[in-house]
Every structure is written in structure tokens, then in C-alpha cells.
Structure 1
Amino acid sequence: MTDAQNYPMPTESKEVLNSNLPPPYPHGETQVDSMPPYMPPPYSAAPAMYPPSPYPPVLYPPQAGVDMGTLPPGECNPLGEPGSSSPEADAALLVSSFDDKTIRKAFIRKVFSVVTLQLLVTFSIVCVFTFSSVVRAAVQSNIWIYLSSYILFAVVAISLSYSNSFSRSHPWNLVGLSVVTLTLSYLVGTVASFHDTTAVVIAMGATVAISFTIIIFSAQTRVDFTICNGILLVLAVDLLMFSFFCSFFYSNVLQIVYGSLGALLFSLFLAIDCQLVMGRQKYALDPEEYVFAALILYLDIINIFLYLLIIMGGSSK
């Protein structure tokens, strides 16, 4: 038997405990049932920051034939979710574009370096043929060398232009380009020997200025001249017919007009060929065709010089 059973609780303690208990509920009622129902407070809507749009929402259907999950690397679909790409694919794309730009820049440097060397050789020979009276007399008295140089120039230049195996085979392409440069330099020097020294110097200076301006303009402009080859072909045929009629009705005015039209035509050809070399427009040359690119730029500049000589010859008379 425990101590609590041996010693019963006093009566006074029981009365104190019973007085602290809450009063009993009436029969059939509970405290929850007697509480009033919950009433939410009145809702006071805050003023809207933006007025509602009077237009109904527009749902755009998905485009036919477009797979949102197979977009090219680095692009996003119209919903703003990136396409299925991997870091390896993005890195390969960046390396490829970098290699293309690097190859194109090296191609441009090589082409313009070769053209600069060609022009230095040509204008040096022109100066010798113009300033030296002995060389001038020897050149003017040996026309057969002029004709032989013209035939050799035509054969090699046509071969470089239309034979890919010849224009891309190293070092024979450089040998052919050297032959073209030397023969054409002799031809231009022979033509310049029949003009005044002052006219030749002015024509050379004007050629350098015009060529440099056209090259800078072609590199900076967004106008695509490469799509105008057909128009320039028609203009070239018109110029050829004009020169044919000028041979029957010769005058100094017609000579100046003919020279001006020819210089303008080959200036346009130079702009087109520069854009073909730089590769920033619709059409471009292959980086392996640096010999052909140097050839066409060189021929454009030399033709500008020859037509300027025609203008100077007509004005001096």
C-alpha cells in the first residue's frame, strides 16, 4: 500500500481545487456552437497601378515547321528559351568564324602586297622609259618587241584567268604572274614613251590617288557593287563601240571623253574587284585564288592609268 492510500487528501484541498474549475456547460451546448459565425471584414481593394487593357489577349499559334527544341546553337526561340545547343558546338562555331576571318585577313594582306609590288615594278619601268631619252628611242624603234610582249601577255593572262590548275599551282602561278607583270610593264612603258614627261607623271599621281580612294571606299561602304557585273559588261561593250566610232571621227574632245569614260568604267571594276577580295558582300573570291585576285586588281589600276594618259594626251594637243 502506497503513502497516498495511507494518507487521504484533506477535504479543504478538494474544495480549493473544485473552485478553480470552469463551470459546466448546459446540456446539449458547446462553446463552439455558442460562438457567433465568422464574418470577414469588408474588402477594400487598393487602386490599380495600371489601368486594365481594353484589348483582349492574343494567343499566337506556333509556327509551322519550326521546332523550338532544335534551334541553332546560341539562338533563342520567340519564347525566350535557348535552343538545344552544347558548349562544344558553340565553341566550334566561334573557332570556325575566327578562322574564317583570320584566313580572309591574311588573304587580303597577301593580295595587296603582291599588287603593290607589281605597281612598283611597272611604274619604275615607266619612269625609265619616260625620263631616259636613249631608252625611249630604243623602245620606239623596236615595235616587234612590243608586239611579242603583247602576245605573251595575252596568253599568260588568259591562262591565269581561266585555268584553275595553273592559277593555283605553286610556284607556277607566281611565275605566270611575274611574266604578266613584266610584259605589261613593257607595254605600258612603251605607250608612256610617246607622251610628255609631265603628262606621265600627272597620270601616275592621279592613278595612285584614284586607286587608293576607291580601295578605302570599297572597304568601308555597305553598298554591294559585286552584283553590278552585268551592268558593267554592257557599259564595256558600249565603250568599245564608242572607241570604234571615234577612230573614224577623231578629235581632241572625243579623245578626252573616251578617256574619261574608260577611266570611270575601270574605276567601277576596281571597286567590284576590291569587294570580291575583301569578301564582305554577296560574292567573294576563294582565299586560294590570291594570284587571280592580284591579277584583276593590277589590270584595273593599269587600265585607269592608260585611260588617264589618253586624257592627258588629248588635253596637251
Structure 2
Amino acid sequence: MWYLALVMMLVTLIVLACCPDVRRQFPVNFIVLVAFTLCEGFLLGAISSNYEQDAVIIAVGITAVVAASLTLFAFQTKWDFTAWGGMLFVFVIVLFCFGILCAIIQNKYATLAYSALGALLFSAYLVFDTQLMIGGRHKYSLSPEEYIFAALNLYLDIVQLFMFILTIVGHAQGD
């Protein structure tokens, strides 16, 4: 089931990200988004089952507070984060390389540093994607027709933020 959900999640993610006609065509866009969400939810549940119940609940609470706070910040700030797209992409590549290094080294402190940097990066992505979605006075924005793509971006930011926070909390409780 896990491998099927992983393949289905990847296929639906690629379809939503790379096929603008699919993500703009009602009701197909909602069907694909629901399929993606169900697969992602199953995978999150499988991953979360490897952690203590308290760690998962704490991580959910922290993620909710951080996501709500950053969303409010993105709506009210005069700073324009939409011009940071290239820089955020570079940071993702660096984080990816650091993640490979952490997988090789297998060190608790490296994993904690990786998770903290990942949480910080996806917090920045949450502000970036929120400002892309609201448009207005920002340099870049998404078209109103791209509501499915905007929802997907925000969903993935929050899921990644949760996973990094869960890793931090899970390691902290493991001591």
C-alpha cells in the first residue's frame, strides 16, 4: 500500500505541477487534487506512526502556530518575498545536498541541523507562496485561474514544515 500511495502521490503531483490544462479544468482538477491529498495523507500517517504520539501532537501544534503566524505576516508585511524565488530554489538545492550528506554521516546533530534548516526554509517558502497567491502590490503573483496550483504549493509547504518539525520534536523527545 505504501509504495502504491507513493507512486500515486508522485504521479498526481507531476500532473498538477506540469499540466496547466489539467489543473485549470473543473472537475478534473479537484479529482486529481483529492487523489494527491489522500495519498499524501496516507504517507504522512505512515511516517508519523514511527514517532511517539506526544511528538506528533506537539509537532502538529507547533506547525499550526507557525503556519498561522507566517500567513498573517505574509498578508500584512510591506516586504516583498515574491522576488526571492531563485534564492529559495538555491537553498533547496543546498538543503538537498546537505540531506544526502546527513544520510551518509548518520549523526544526530547533523540530522537536527538539517531539520532546523529545512523548517526555516519551508517557513520562508510559506511566506513566498502566500504572497504569490494574494498578489496585489507584490512583484510576482499567480493568476486567479491557478487556485489549484496555489493550494498545492501551500499544502506542500505546510506538510514539509510539519515533517521537519516532527523530526526535531521526535529527536528532542528521544533524549
Bin of the TM-score, shorter chain as denominator length: over 0.9
Once residues 190 and 266 of structure 1 are traced to their aligned partners in structure 2, the CA distance between those partners, rounded to angstroms, is 22
Would you say the 8 A contact 1:253–1:314 is kept in 2?
A: no
Show the counterpart of 1:204: 60
Q: Tell me the equivalent position of 2:148.
A: 291
Q: What secondary structure does 1:248 align onto?
A: helix
Distance 2:96 2:146 in 1: 29
Q: What's the offset of the Cα at 1:313?
A: 2.1
- Extract structure 1 runs of 4+ deviating beyond 6 A: none
- Cα deviation, residue 295, structure 1: 0.6
Q: Within 5 Å, give how 1:19-58 maps onto structure 2.
A: none
Tell me which residue corresponds to 2:81: 225
Amino acid across the alignment from 1:288: E
Residues in 2 aligned to 1:222 and 1:147: alpha-carbon distance in whole angstroms? 44
SS at 1:157's partner residue?
helix
Structure with bigger RCO (C-alpha 8 Å, 6+ apart) = 2
Secondary structure, counterpart of 2:144 in structure 1: coil
User: Are the aligned partners of 1:225 and 1:272 in contact in 2 as well (CA < 8 Å)?
Assistant: yes
Higher CA-based Rg: 1
CA RMSD, Structure 1 to Structure 2 (Å):
0.8
TM superposition shift of 1:256 = 1.1
Match of 1:274 in 2: 130
Distance 1:234 1:164 in 2: 25
2:36 corresponds to 1:180:
yes
Map Cα deviations across residues 240-283 of structure 1 (whole Å, 9 max, x no partner). Answer: 11111111211221111111111111111110100011112011
Quick one: distance in 1 between partners of 2:69 and 2:18? 29
Distance in 2 of aligned mates of 1:196 and 1:244: 25
What amino acid is aligned across from residue 22 of structure 2 in structure 1? F
Q: Which amino acid aligns with 2:123?
A: S
Tell me, in whole angstroms, the C-alpha distance in 1 between the residues paired with 2:108 and 2:45. 23
Distance 2:144 2:127 in 1: 18
Please list, as runs of the form range in 1=range in 2, the aligned pairs for 1:76-95 lying within 5 A after superposition: none
The structural deviation recorded for 1:174 is 0.2
TM-score normalised over the length of structure 2: 0.96
In the alignment, structure 2 segments of 5+ residues that lack a partner are none
User: What is residue 170 of structure 1 aligned with on the other side?
Assistant: 26
Counterparts of residues 139-178 of structure 1 (less than 5 Å): 145-178=1-34
Deviation at 1:316, TM superposition (A): 2.3
TM-score, scaled relative to structure 1: 0.54
Report what 1:27 is aligned to. none
User: Are residue 310 (structure 1) and residue 167 (structure 2) matched?
Assistant: yes
Asked whether the equivalents of residues 203 and 309 of structure 1 are also in contact (C-alpha less than 8 Å), the reply is yes
What secondary structure, in the 3-state scheme, does the structure 2 residue paired with 1:247 have? helix
Provide the residue aligned with 2:114 in structure 1: 258
- C-alpha deviation, 1:147, in angstroms: 1.2
